[in-house]
A and B are shown apart, each in its own frame.
Chain A
Amino acid sequence: MTLLSIDTALVIEKLILIAVIIFASLGIALYTTFAERKVAAILQDRPGPNRAGPFGLLQPFADGLKLIAKEEIIPSGANKWLFILGPGLAMTAALMTCAVIPWGDKVELFGRTIALQVADINIGFLYIFGVVSLGVYGVMIGGWASNNKFSLLAALRGASQAISYELAMGLSMIALLMMTGTLQLGEIVKQQTGPGHHWNVIYQPLGFLIFLVCAFAECNRTPFDLPEAENELNFGYHQEYSSMKLGFYLFSEYINMFISSAVMATLFFGGYDLPFFNPANHTPNFAATIGIITLMAKVVMFIFFFMWVRWTVPRFRYDQLMNLGWKSMIPLALVNMLVTAVVILMRH
């Protein structure tokens, strides 16, 4: 069954996989908003949302319905097309990274062996880095097209923050790359599984720390949420937005958080690897299911960490943010890279 010399079954398989991953990401992001409010409530000793449905579980749907039902306003001085394009770009860039993450090992369905990864490309690492660097556009275009000084200032802040922390992130990834010797994410996870192999965080603790801090900055999460500093910039780059366009911006932040948690789990915490569990002793489908559950558990831990930090650590000042990025993170990442290189050279 070939059309245009493409395996049609493969195309259908990949399309289904993409649809499942995207809808799962959206669903998880939906409930992350709820979890954020609940975690904030627990940390501040109050009940949190508990009216819609049992334990307030229907709250995200109520929020979404409210956003969709609100009036859509495009300011008269705004650049109409770019104003609409901004949230779309933010959302697209947030969802694009999930293409290279291995969500689990292979499963067997209908006589086909299906890898739970959309594309195990040769340049997996760099692909993530490329998409991260494109994430700036949603913020910049949205902030500029609103024709509002506060929005523009916030957009510039967001863009320069993202560019500054991308460098340290890239350097910490280089140290990891020198150890793994491959850019393929599927291969990196396989290197961390099995007896005698350890998770990369054991070899690269400093690299992981730098990556974590940069992930906070790239996701615009507190203590780095300068683009949305409401006491200085009213509401930040999405001040003029209303209705579901605002929803897209807010939502893309949660998707970014989910995806970067998945990336950290994959790169440094063994991906879908469960310690002391040998997949070879079980049927492939059972092992893959355990793998997916393990990865999701790691992701949930990271998301909780993101929230925990948000509700305990106050926001940086902008000059402190830049100093931390350029004068601490980048030199630290360089030192980490050098030490890794020396150790690898000694062991050869």
Chain B
Amino acid sequence: MSATHILFWFLSALAVVSALMVLFSKNPVHSVLWLIAVFFAISGHYILMNAQFLAIVNIIVYAGAIMVLFLFVIMLMNLNKESEPRKNVWMKLAGAISAGSLLMILVSLVGQATEVSHKTLIMKDGNIGLIKSLGKILFTQYVVPFELTSILFLSAMVGAVVIGKKD
């Protein structure tokens, strides 16, 4: 077992345990903090695949910006254990069953897909995830989707300004 294997299993266990803690925490602030731990574990996985740019952008965007906004909202709403609505047992059961079936379908689909079945994961080296190669691909091969995404962002920003403006 090499160091990469040990790190892989450690990060995977961390990601799964943290994701479960997001669900099982009673306090919403704790849930957000566990979600940040999940993002860190996933960034660790990116680093194992030498996708440094993806790893750090994952941290900057998700852990550094979006989760801060989540924390903002939750702290200001002042959610407590007492104010949490009691859910019906049957509802919980139905939710668990439907989520479980969805998971089963997704897993079986990913397992059968030809796109992923004959590929091996490049660990430790390979420069696909480095910023230079990513930038070149984004601005040559995928320049149209890239520009479309930026238009989407612009429209979202304009929408936010319109909603946020007083009358």
Contacts and interface: CB of A to CB of B under 8 A. Distances in A.
A91 interface: no
A94 to B, nearest CB: 15
B93 interface: no
B2 A126 contact: no
B3 A4 contact: yes
Interface residues of B, number: 25
A79 B29 CA distance: 10
- SS class of chain B's interface: helix, strand, loop or mixed? helix
Interface string B34-58: 0010000000000000001100110
Interface stretch (A14-22, A63-71, A132-140, A247-255): A132-140
Contacts of B63: 130, 133-134
A1 interface: no
Interface stretch (B64-72, B110-118, B142-150): B64-72
Given A4-B3, A6-B3, A122-B131, A130 B71 contact: no
A140 B71 contact: yes
- Chain A, interface residues (CB within 8 Å), range: 20 to 34
Contact of B52 (A123, A129, A134, A155): A123
A197 to B, nearest CB: 22
A189 interface: no
B129 to A, nearest CB: 10
A230 B3 CA distance: 50
A130 B65 CA distance: 10
A127 B56 contact: yes
Interface string A131-170: 0011011001100100000001001100100010000000
Given A122-B52, A156-B76, 11 more contacts: A123-B131, A126-B60, A130-B63, A137-B68, A140-B72, A141-B33, A144-B29, A144-B71, A152-B75, A163-B65, A163-B68
Interface of A: 4-6, 79, 82, 121-123, 126-127, 129-130, 133-134, 136-137, 140-141, 144, 152, 155-156, 159, 163, 183
